[in-house]
Every structure is written in structure tokens, then in C-alpha cells.
Structure 1
Amino acid sequence: MTNVPCCLIEKPLDLQAAYETAIAENPANRLTSVPGRKKRAVARHTYFWAPGRTLRIAFLNGDQSFKDAVKAAANNWLPHINLKFEFVEGEEGDIRIKSEPGVYWSHIGTSALTETDQSLPTMLLSPDHQLSLKFFNANTMHEFGHVLGAEHEHLHPESNIPWNRQAVYAAHGVPEGADEDNYTRRIVDARYFNLLDPSEVVHSPYDPKSIMHYPVRQDWTEGDFEIYLNLVLSEKDKAFMAEVYPSSTTD
């Protein structure tokens, strides 16, 4: 299995400001559920962009080959969403991307707007396109899934991964016998084990093929269970985003 840098999610520091920003962007973000409609993937309602919106995307650094690779990967989402991506010159954008080796990181959806300092990134991408374009594309599509409002699929409320917690703890340097107050254990628990609250997310059945799913190493699970790095958008990824960002908001 490919060893994948863990994607990090930047949570808003001011949740009230993030909520107000999301409502101003898209009043439908007030909803916590939509009766009679089935959606999938794990994504917080309060962070979706307004359908039909153009997202201005700026690069804070990176050479042209990096920028071209990001654009090509991100554009895989476009046939399935009623949004446009406008890659702009300069540092002012709704989304600001910085190239930083070994790091994949993003704000969730409209929370990017709460970072008002235009010199700071709302996404970090490792310039791995020169090493493995498939790997880079998968991770870039994953981060743009966060941009669109999706959470991690392996934290889906119905996720049934048979984790061997002690093996995961050992691999991440959690001291043996560490309790729940141990800082390193808290980080690992949040990254792999703390499933999302079903009252805060909209979801249909768990999708192990989602681009938003972490790869799962067999030696980190009980029994014969493994998930490789998903390299393409799943059919359920496409269907979910098509419903979140419909071509017509009057349906």
C-alpha cells in the first residue's frame, strides 16, 4: 500500500463566525437535515457553497507544473457540481493554495472564508506530482472534496473498520497504556477513531471507495481487512456532490 501523508483538516477557531459566514454564503446551510432526501458521504451542512458560485482559487507559491497538476486534478469534480473554479493570478482568492512538501491540509467548505488574511493559505498540497501523478491527483481531489464541504469518509457514523487500536497507537508513538488525556492519543483518536456525530452530518451508507476515505493498512486492523488508496472519485462521491450542488436550485 502507498504510504500516504495524513490529510489534516483545519477547524474554524470561531465556530459562530464560521456559521454566520456559511449562512451568508448559502442560507440553506441552516438546515441540519433534509426530510425525504437521501444524501451520502460525510459533510457538514453548514459549510456548503451556494450552487452556481464561482470559487476564486489562488496560488501562494509553486511552479507552473505544480499549478497545472492541481488544476487538472481539481477539475475532476467539475462535471458533478454546479460550481465553477476560476484560477486567478496573485494571492487574493476564496481558496489559497500553498505548496509544502509532505503536507495535505484544508479548511472545510465555506470555513475558508473565515481566514481573512490573504497571505495565509486555506489549503496545503505537497508537490508530489513529480514523484507520482496518480498519488498527487488522489490527494488533491481529496482536499478539494474538503473544499466542497465533505468530511473524512472513514469517520462516517456507520464506518465498520475493525481497527487494531494498539497497532495504530504504536505506529504513531502513543505511549503504551496512555489514557484518553494523553495528547498524542487524542490526536490519533481524532484522526482515525472518533466517528462523526450522525446528528451533525448527512449521510447514506458508508462508502469505502470514496476519495474522502483514508487508506487502511492491514497491519492496523483485526483480521483480513485493508483499503488501498482510492485513486478516483467514486460513483457515490459524484452523486452526493451533484445533489449538494444541483444544476437547478428550484427542484
Structure 2
Amino acid sequence: MSAATNNRFVWINNVQRIISLRNISRIILLLCLSLANLSAQPAPGKPQPSCGMPIFNSARERAFYYKRTGWKPGQTIKVYFVNGTELERGVTEHYAREWERYGNFKFEFHQEKKTVKEHTILIKYEAQKPGVAGWSTVGWGTESTDSHSMSFAVGTRSEGTILHEFGHALGLSHEQMSPGGAIDWIPAEAYKYFREQFKWDTAKVDAEILGKTSDANMNWTEFDHESTMGYYLPGKLFKSGKPLGVSFHLSELDKKGIAQMYPGRQAPADRLPTDLYFADSGRFIDISAQEATVKVFLDDQLVKEVVAPKNGYAGKIDIDPYLRNKRTKLSISIQPSGQKFQGFVTVQETGKYLFSLGCTHEYPCARGNQTVTRSVYLTHFRDRNRGQDSFGSVVTNTPPVPAPTDDYNDLKGNITINDQLNAKLLNAILGRKVGEARTWLAKGANPNAAYQGWTALMLAAYLGENDITKMLIVRGAALDTRIADYWTAYLIALKLNRLDTAELLQKAGATTRGATMNMRSLPSL
């Protein structure tokens, strides 16, 4: 996928060839933090989603993805569920379709169980690790009927989490990874922050953050502090003073970027997002403001005006009388009167927090003393978006391009083993460099090369690298070598839900003995 670079965005340039960042410990982590109520946005003054999570992590922390193909402009992308209630599935569909309004593709949500092995997104709601709300593969779903490609915490209603993970599924990377942000970082503050928060030394910060000037597998543009794809990072790290990861709707540049990535859909004239509520009564808005004149509108009717002093203001509005239509426009206007202004409305129902809308002097939305206006639509869950809000589509239902068949003739026959190439082979596998791995095998690298007990085949299985797995099988790699007196390449693939890889190994003759005894932990890599 190619793209112009006149707008901020970061996405996979070619998901068929995406590689990791030099080694396993630096594969992008596909997570975002949850809120106490898994709500769409945090209440004012509460911790932000994604705050404090690792920017990168090891593959053992779920950082895995398929890379054999990507979605194409004009394609219908099927979405299935392993489990989930009507509420969980409906909320997920509603917010995922916000991407669909701007990119030329069509989500096709299925409620029946997936039974056909084809390339789709497959979602499961399940317990997550502490502080985690979900994860997704990047730029690819899964062909499996039971190995899911996207995961959410049980009960997820978070717009930000759903947008973020579907962004990954469509091929988008984390905003903090963008080389476009290089000029905005304050090096001294970055060194201090990542040393204190993540124990990174100067060299690692340079390699991972400050030195990210290019990436052959990515397209990127101007850095966007409001992107839904960013993890929270404080404003003190940036010359602009604006934090990253505090917006949980699509930014304007998110919208433009996905349109560049999947061209062909006419942008909607009305670009406001629609947030959900669920009750038929007991709905109200809390207002919090400081050093600002704040006006609250419902369907463009002024319902409250507050002149907030330095010591702040808090109030409440019953909005039941205003929610008479299928969709109601909520707006907040904030006119700063001091340097530390803020203005927020928090939507609640029957005592439960739903989401917040507003701005503070610290946020990217702030424009000095200029008035800031933030708007969304409110709609009941029963009137959620099932595809009816996606206009201007020229979807052509282009199927994914199948990967060409390869008989690996260059890897067959008598190839003299050259063990001096083994390290290069292992590094290529760890770097997900398929072409390089093939080159070293063709030149004589040992298909049974190993490091600290991990064979080349085990590493390929661990990463779900099917092409490399096929190459090693063709070169005659030993299928049943064990590490820690138990783990074979097949069992490693099975443990990590690399079912396509496990199937390749099984068909090649790998033993499946022990497949039902998977309670053991994998050895460290």
C-alpha cells in the first residue's frame, strides 16, 4: 500500500513483508489500557487509557501478527465472534464502523459461528492481563475458525479501545513509533522519562524513539498528538507541550489517513462521531470547568452556560428531556479566561459513567485563548450503526490476493552445510526477514541451527513465520527436537495459537504427542 505524505499517519507499507524491529524484544505491543468501567473516555482528572503501559514488549506479551496478506481497497472484510453478548458485539460493531465511514472497505459482521477457513477478523472476549483491555494482529486477521485475531476484555464498551484495535487490524501502527515525530521530542526529557518508566538506557531511547528517521516497511506523515493510535505520553516530552494519546475518537488526520490507505470512498459531509448510551431514563451530564466560560448545547440549543473561576465549577444537567430523537447532538464550547483552563462534560446514566467530552490547556485541542468546541452525537444502543451510516462507498468486494505458490526449488538437493552462516540465519528469523532467511539457507546455513536450545524451526514456530517454517521443512529440519525436555516446534506453535504453523508441522510429520498437556510455561527466549 502506498500513500502520500501530506497528512499525519503511520501504517504498514506492505503487510506481506512487514518485519520486526531487529529482535523479538522490540516487536510492537498491541495493547491499550482499560478504564475502571471500560468506558469510552476517562472522567476529567482520571488516569488516561494507555497510560503507563509498555511501549514495546516481548513476543511473550501477545505481540504477534500474521503478515501473509493485507486487506485491499474495495474489499469486504468479514468479522466473526468466538463468543460475546449482544451488547458486547453490538458496541464493537458500532465503533468499528467509524473507520468504515472514511476508508473504502466494508465490514461484514457475522453472528453465526465461523466454520469456513478463510481470511477474516475473529474476535474473542476474555480475561486480559492486569491493565490491558485488548489486542489485535496487524494488517491481517486469521484463517482459523477458532484461533482469534482480536481480543477484548469481557464487557468492553470502550470506544477508544475498539477504534485502536480495529486500527491495528487494518494495518495501522502506534503513533509513538512514527518517524514523523522525531522533530517534536525533547531528548533530555525523553531520556529521563524512559529511564524512569521503562529502565531504558540512552542507546535504547535513541534506537527506539529519537533515532526513528525511516522505516522501509512503514508509511508515515506529520505527527498527530490527537491520533487514536497513540499510547499516552505526557506533554513534557514534546516541544509542543502537548501529550499523546488523550483523544479517543478518530482525529481528523486519522480520517484522512485511512482514506489515503484505502482510497475510493467519498468522505461524509458530517464527520462527527456517534457515542452510545443504553438506558431509557436516568441520563445526565456532569459539568466541570475552571478559568473558562463553558457552554453546553443539545441539538444546537444552549442548555447551560457557566463562567468558571480559578477554583473551579461543578454542576449537573438532566438530559432525559432532550433525548427525544434517534440521534442528539451534544456540544461543549470552552472560551479560556486563564492559562490553566479546562471544560468537560461527563455523560452518565443511572449512576454509571459513559464518556467525557471537552478540553484542557494541556491537551492538543487547546489553541491558546481561542474558543474550543467539541461535539459528538448521542444515540441509543438499539439505534447503533450497523452499516447504515457509511455513505459514499464504492466498495467492489475485491478479494485478497492469494500468496503465490512456491516449491522452494532453490532449497532442494545437496547443499553443503556452512555452520558459519548459522548466526545470520537465526538473526534473520528473529527479525522476520523471510528473504534473508531463504538466502542463508540456500547458501548452506544449517536448518538445525540453534541458540541456547532454541532451534531455527522453534523460533519460526514461536513467531508464526509460516514461510520460514516451510523453508526449514524443505531443507530437512528435525521436526521433533525438544527444548526443556518437552517443547517441540509443533507444541510451541500450538501453545501460542499459531494454528496455521502447527498444521504445517503436523502435515510434515511432526509428532503431536503431548498436545493436550499444555499447562506448562514456555521457556524464556
Distance in 2 (CA, whole Å) between partners of 1:236 and 1:218 is 19
Partner of 1:76: 98
Q: Which residue matches 1:200?
A: 217
Alpha-carbon distance between aligned partners in 1 of 2:197 and 2:7, rounded to the nearest angstrom: 35
The partner residue of 1:126 within 117, 138, 153 is 153
- Is the contact made by 2:136 and 2:165 (CA closer than 8 Å) also made in structure 1? yes
Moved more, 80-89 or 198-207: 198-207
Retained in 2: the 8 A contact 1:155–1:194?
Answer: no
Deviation at 1:196, TM superposition (A): 7.1
Q: TM-score, normalised by structure 2?
A: 0.34
Aligned pair in 2 of structure 1 residues 158, 39: CA closer, same or farther (>3 Å)? closer
Distance 1:126 1:202, change over 3 A: same
Q: Aligned-pair distance for 1:109?
A: 1.2
* Partner SS for 1:70: helix
Q: Which amino acid aligns with 1:94?
A: T
Matched, 1:105 2:135: yes
Alignment partner of 1:171 is 2:223: no
In the alignment, what sits opposite 1:117?
144
Report the counterpart of residue 40 of structure 2 in structure 1. none
Three-state SS of the structure 1 residue aligned to 2:162 is helix
Indicate conservation of the 8 Å contact 2:228/2:245, yes or no: no
- Tell which deviates more after alignment, 136-145 or 239-248: 239-248
Shift of 1:117: 3.0
Matching of residue 41 in structure 1 with residue 9 in structure 2: yes
Q: For 1:128 and 1:194, how far apart are their aligned partners in 2?
A: 39
Write the distance in 2 (CA, Å) between the matches of 1:124 and 1:222: 32
Shift of 1:199: 3.2
What is the CA deviation profile of residues 135-181 of structure 1, one whole-angstrom value per residue up to 9, with x for unaligned ones?
x1011101111111111111110213335344444434x4xx8797x
Aligned residues: 198
Name the residue aligned to 1:24: none
Matched residue, 1:161: 185
Query: Does the 8 A contact of 2:225 with 2:242 survive in 1?
Result: no
- How far off its partner does 1:237 sit? 0.9
Moved more, 101-110 or 230-239: 101-110
Question: How far has the Cα of 1:193 moved from its partner?
Answer: 6.8
Q: Using a 3 Å threshold, how does the CA distance of structure 1 residues 43 and 80 change in structure 2: closer, same or farther?
A: same
How far apart are 1:38 and its partner, in Å? 4.3
Q: How does the TM-score come out when normalised to structure 1? A: 0.66
Question: For residues 117 and 60 of structure 1, what CA distance do their matches in structure 2 show?
Answer: 11
TM-aligned CA distance change 1:243 to 1:226, over 3 Å: closer
SS of residue paired to 2:179: coil
Taking only aligned residues, the RMSD between alpha carbons, in angstroms, comes to: 3.1
- Residues 1:91 and 2:114 aligned together: yes
- Alpha-carbon distance in structure 2 between the residues aligned to 1:45 and 1:106: 18
Q: Kindly state the Cα deviation for residue 233 of structure 1 after the two structures are TM-superposed.
A: 0.5
Query: Could you tell me how far 1:200 is from its partner in structure 2?
Result: 2.6
Preserved CA contact (<8 Å) 1:155 1:196: no
Give the corresponding residue for 1:229: 246
- Distance, in Å, in 2 between the alignment partners of 1:73 and 1:152 is 19
1:209 aligns with 2:235: no
Q: Aligned with 1:216: secondary structure?
A: coil
Say if 2:191 and 2:201, in contact at 8 Å, map to a contact too. Answer: no
- Structure holding more strand per residue: 2
Contact 2:138 2:169 (8 Å CA) reproduced: yes
Partner letter of residue 104 of structure 1? G
User: Which secondary structure does the structure 2 equivalent of 1:164 belong to?
Assistant: helix
Question: 1:59-113: per-residue Cα shift (whole Å, max 9, x none)?
Answer: 1122221111111110111110111111112135600111133342111113x3x
Which one-letter code corresponds to 1:143 in the other structure? E
Offset of 1:225 from its aligned partner? 5.0
Alignment of 1:171-190 (within 5 A): 171-172=197-198, 174=199
Deviation at 1:126, TM superposition (A): 2.1
Secondary structure of 2:180 counterpart: coil
3-state DSSP of counterpart to 1:246: coil
Which residue identity is paired with 2:216? S
Q: Bigger CA drift: 115-124 or 65-74?
A: 115-124
Greater CA radius of gyration, 1 or 2? 2
Q: Is the 8 A contact 1:155 1:193 kept in 2?
A: no
CA distance in 2, matches of 1:42, 1:80: 16
Which of 88, 95, 112 aligns to 1:66? It is 88
The Cα offsets for residues 21-70 of structure 1, whole Å up to 9 and x where unpaired, read as xxxxxxxx4xxx56x77464111121341111111111112222111111
**One-letter identity of the residue aligned with 1:107:** T
Structure 2 distance, partners of 1:96, 1:74, is 13
Distance 1:208 1:222 in 2: 10
Unaligned runs of 5+ residues in structure 2 are 16-69, 265-393, 396-525
- What residue ranges of structure 1 are gaps of 5+ in the alignment? 1-28
What is the rounded CA distance, in whole Å, between the counterparts of 1:38 and 1:117 in structure 2?
A: 38
Cα distance change, pair 200–213 in 1 and its aligned pair in 2 (3 A): same
Residues 230, 222 of structure 1: CA spacing in aligned structure 2 closer, same or farther, 3 A cutoff? closer
